[in-house]
Amino acid sequence: MSNFGNLGCVLVAVDGNEESMNALRWALNNLKLRSPATDSTDPPSFVIFHVQSPLSIATGLNPGSIPFGGPSDVEVPAIAAAIEVHQKRITEAILDHALGICEEFNFTAKIRTHVVVGDPKEKICEAVLDLHADVLVMGSRAIGPIKRMFLGSVSNYCAHHSSCPVIIIKGKDSANKIN
């Protein structure tokens, strides 16, 4: 993999699980960015990408009607605001952890962070297009076949729908290997 030296944008998807942080470690160990062009307005970078769940998913609320004739569009602003603050704290903790890993590798100058809200599968593939990523790196939680059937696999979806090559890092030992 060390011949990956002409990369302008490496998108690393992180979600707070250690598997995604291992993917970041692997990317920092194995992928090299190209030298910045003198006329380029967008220098080569690693993009640490995180997707927050939409408010309805984060709360477990079903936007459908409340049983037995309750209102169908009730939103409690105080609860929604508290959940948004909590999600922001979680996102900051995830990004702080990821940036700490980058510091361990003495690799902070070419790091950008990007956060969006939505379905991780779709938002990661959209970010690949929007950010013109040359490669997508992500971890795999290795969920069982039953959970995968109901929940789906983000890494599997991205491997089949991303417009760039996808590197999926499985397990802790893979992150420390230099290929």
Distance CA 96, CA 98 (A): 5
146 vs 3, residue with greater confidence: 146
pLDDT for position 147: 58
Predicted confidence band at 142 (pLDDT cuts at 50, 70, 90)? low
pLDDT digits (tens, 9 = 90+) for 37-63: 656 667 889 999 999 988 765 555 544
pLDDT for position 14: 97
pLDDT digits (tens, 9 = 90+) for 57-104: 555 554 444 455 555 555 567 777 888 899 999 999 999 999 999 999
pLDDT for position 172: 63
Which helix (H) or strand (E) element contains residue 57? Answer: helix 55-59
- Note the CATH architecture for domain 1-50+93-106+128-179: 3-Layer(aba) Sandwich (3.40)
pLDDT for position 3: 47
pLDDT for position 149: 57
pLDDT at 143 over 70: no
Instruction: Identify whether the C-beta of residue 172 lies closer than 8 Å to the C-beta of residue 140.
Output: no
pLDDT for position 61: 55
pLDDT at 131 over 50: yes
Instruction: Identify whether the C-beta of residue 157 lies closer than 8 Å to the C-beta of residue 123.
Output: no
pLDDT for position 171: 72
pTM as predicted: 0.80
pLDDT at 145 over 80: no
Q: What is the mean pLDDT of the chain?
A: 82
What residue segments make up the domains of the chain, in order of their start? Answer: 1-50+93-106+128-179
pLDDT for position 1: 44
Which helix (H) or strand (E) element contains residue 130? Answer: helix 120-130
pLDDT for position 2: 46
Instruction: Identify whether the C-beta of residue 175 lies closer than 8 Å to the C-beta of residue 138.
Output: no
